[in-house]
Amino acid sequence: MILTKTLTPLRGELTVPGDKSISHRAVMFGSISEGLTEITNFLPGADCLSTISCFRKMGIEIEQSANHVLVHGKGLHGLSAPSEILDCGNSGTTTRLISGILSGQTFSTTLTGDASIQKRPMGRIITPLSMMGGQIESLAGNGCAPLKITGTTLHGIHYQSPVASAQVKSCVLLAGLYADAATSVTEPALSRNHTELMLSHFGATVTSEGVTATVLPDPHLIGSSIQVPGDISSAAYFIAAALMVPGSEVLLKNVGVNPTRDGFLKAVFDMGADITLLNQSIQGGEATADLLVRYSPLHGTVVEGAMIPTLIDEIPILAVLAATAEGTTVIRDAQELKVKESNRLDIMTSSLSSMGVSITATDDGMIIDGGKPLQGAVIDSHLDHRIAMSFAIASLVAEGETEITRADCVDISYPEFYGHLASLKE
């Protein structure tokens, strides 16, 4: 995919696709609830389709047509043993959340995924699930997928998680639905809370106090309707684009602005962004707003600590913005970026360097001296959707041509990404 600098402002209105985290959870929780769950504005990206495929293999009828999904749930104990390996594709959310559910079943399963998934750390779920009495094994013995899970009786625990990870927290809470007593998870900083909000919506008893979430076992989950808000992680690319290209004004409709996910907005406000939140509302416990974004000269910022989990997936595009902003941006406490779909710390550092940006990788983040013009370059996505999208946006302000190789991986979370980008350039 070859992209060139845009010579005109970006203008127009866009509805970004449904939130990936919420789409996964709606299919999973619908499957283990009784009766029909209707999901509107579902994200039909490859990751969420992996979740649908796994639950279909466990006997759940799921009708999907574009972004409309009907899940015919069979209740907490209604899943049946799959006759083949469950393939989670590129999706860490599918792998880790489903493992919590599978640990409490009466049957065994094996799950795996693509080359990236087979390198991502699963010890972070194997440890708490084992503490609950779960039987989960890394078949290669390296703490990664493929995983063999033998369903068994689980015990409630209080888990002090060493990482602020919604995937770990959700895995343990979902296993807690099948446990013999209450299960709680305490995190070092609060990660996204979609599981807590949506499980309550389906009828579970979930309480949250600060960085601790607790679930009671054996709830009677009832199918429900879920309207998925637009994904702020997808909106972030067009927020960045409008902020960077002089004269731009873009309206992004119905974006999820849950306070555990809105760190990117906070960071860009701190950098001097002109963004107005319009039509703010709450749908199923999830905050949404339309975002009116106008071109703004930005300056550097510091992003660290408890803010990191609230913008973890947006750090690649934030690094691009920081490269165009005046002054220095420091990102700390973001070592989790090394174990995402790719090593995003290494790849952002080397790829932005190849565009002429002064950037230094640190142990847990990066230091970016922004404000110099970007130069077009050849950038490999490493099959990481967020790398491909970040550099497609960087190309808008880079001199000459930018070539993104293996650019199609945007299908993981945003199949219409390049079309939406082109629509704002017209």
The verdict on whether 384 is a catalytic residue reads no
Q: How far is the CB of 167 from ligand S3P (least distance, A)?
A: 3
Q: How many other CB atoms are found less than 10 A from the CB of residue 306?
A: 14
Is-contact 234 314, C-beta < 8 A? no
The single-letter DSSP state of residue 187 is: -
Q: How many other CB atoms are found less than 10 A from the CB of residue 407?
A: 22
Is-contact 195 167, C-beta < 8 A? no
Instruction: State which residue, 187 or 290, has the beta carbon closest to ligand S3P.
Output: 187
Q: How far is the CB of 119 from ligand S3P (least distance, A)?
A: 14
List the beta strands (DSSP E) in 134-219.
Answer: 135-138, 147-150, 158-160, 183-186, 206-209, 212-215
Q: How far is the CB of 83 from ligand S3P (least distance, A)?
A: 28
The single-letter DSSP state of residue 326 is: B
From the list 416, 286, 204, the residue with the least C-alpha distance to 23 is 286
β partners of residue 62: 71
Instruction: State which residue, 21 or 37, has the beta carbon closest to ligand S3P.
Output: 21
Q: What are the b/e assignments for 125-152, b being 16+ CB within 10 Å?
A: bbbbbeebbbebebeeeeebbbbbbebb
Binding site for ligand S3P (CB under 6 A): 21, 93, 165-167, 170, 191-192, 312-313, 336
Q: How far is the CB of 163 from ligand S3P (least distance, A)?
A: 7
Instruction: State which residue, 48 or 242, has the beta carbon closest to ligand S3P.
Output: 48
Instruction: State which residue, 313 or 380, has the beta carbon closest to ligand S3P.
Output: 313
337 φ/ψ angles, rounded to the nearest 5 degrees? -60, -20
| Number of residues written out for the chain | 426
Instruction: State which residue, 23 or 248, has the beta carbon closest to ligand S3P.
Output: 23
Instruction: State which residue, 286 or 313, has the beta carbon closest to ligand S3P.
Output: 313
Catalytic residue among 313, 380, 384, 411, which? Answer: 313
Q: How far is the CB of 171 from ligand S3P (least distance, A)?
A: 9
DSSP for 221-283? Answer: -B--EEEPPBPHHHHHHHHHHHHHSTT-EEEEEEEE--TTTTHHHHHHHHTT-EEEEEEEEEE
Q: How far is the CB of 43 from ligand S3P (least distance, A)?
A: 11
Residue type, 39: I
Query: Cβ-closest residue to ligand S3P?
Result: 21
From the list 328, 330, 334, the residue with the least C-alpha distance to 305 is 334
Q: Which active-site residues does the annotation give?
A: 313
